[in-house]
Amino acid sequence: MSAVTDAAPVAVPKGILGQSVRDSLVIAQRNLIRMSRIPEMLIFGLIQPIMFVVLFSYVFGGSMNIGGSTDPSTYREFLMAGIFAQTVTFATAGAGAGIADDMHKGLIDRFRSLPMARGAVLTGRTLADLVQTALTLFVLAVVALLVGWRTHTNVGEVLGAFALLLLTGYAFTWIGALIGLSVRTPEAATSGGLIWLFPITFVSNAFVDSSRMTPWLRHVADWNPFSATVQACRQLFGNPGLSPSDAWPMQHPVWASLIYSVLIILVFRTLAVRKYRSATA
């Protein structure tokens, strides 16, 4: 609790909104301090996406046909948007486990006894996870460059792609928060967080061209929020894309990704805050 009570006050406007912002930043600072004291959390979080980059690039790269090309370098550029998106969404499981752990240890009850905004505990936690995700993305981008990934657009579009990835990751973190509040143990939160993530990420255009799927499965993949972010990033990176699709999210992936992410945040933040209030009542 020392990280919470000793944190330097943040200057924000007075009032309900100001208190909510200040409390959220204090909780975020507490979680960042905690993460810095457990560096293996970040290290282990980097190992899996790096393994995916290397394995998919060199094991499957030569056997994938992307836009009529089987050149491994073409697949690497096609792949990286999917790996980036998978990385930010898989952080959801860790967020859920962290919240479940705080619940299990009674830390949430301690926060609830303090005069602080009810949604600040969850908002602060998700903001801290967003910072960790940004660091992971940076390291992963460096690894991608080392294996041959390149962008073919300007700096603004590349930064816009990474901003979309972080927004999507933040949105999915609220789903993890709801799961973490709904289970009894961190182990259950981790399992529950991964069960739904695998179909979301693999029934998509992340690793293969969805045009090669059966018609009904391609329809599901094209309207998958995860697919919209992947396609938007490929477009903004200037990397090889998919075969033409009539699905609106694939025609306007940037807008689709933004709309999906905002809707997910609105819906699941509301549900998570309600669950937090009832779970700690």
Strand, coil or helix: 240: coil
Instruction: State what percent of residues in the chain have pLDDT above 90.
Output: 29
User: pLDDT of 12-37, one tens digit each?
Assistant: 445 667 777 888 888 888 878 877 77
Residue 121, token pair as written in the block: 């505990």
> Using CA atoms, how far apart are residues 140 and 142, in angstroms rounded to an integer?
5
Asked if 53 and 136 touch (Cβ cutoff 8 Å), the reply is: no
- Per residue in 42-100, pLDDT (tens digit) is 777 778 778 878 777 777 666 666 666 666 677 888 888 999 999 899 888 877 888 88
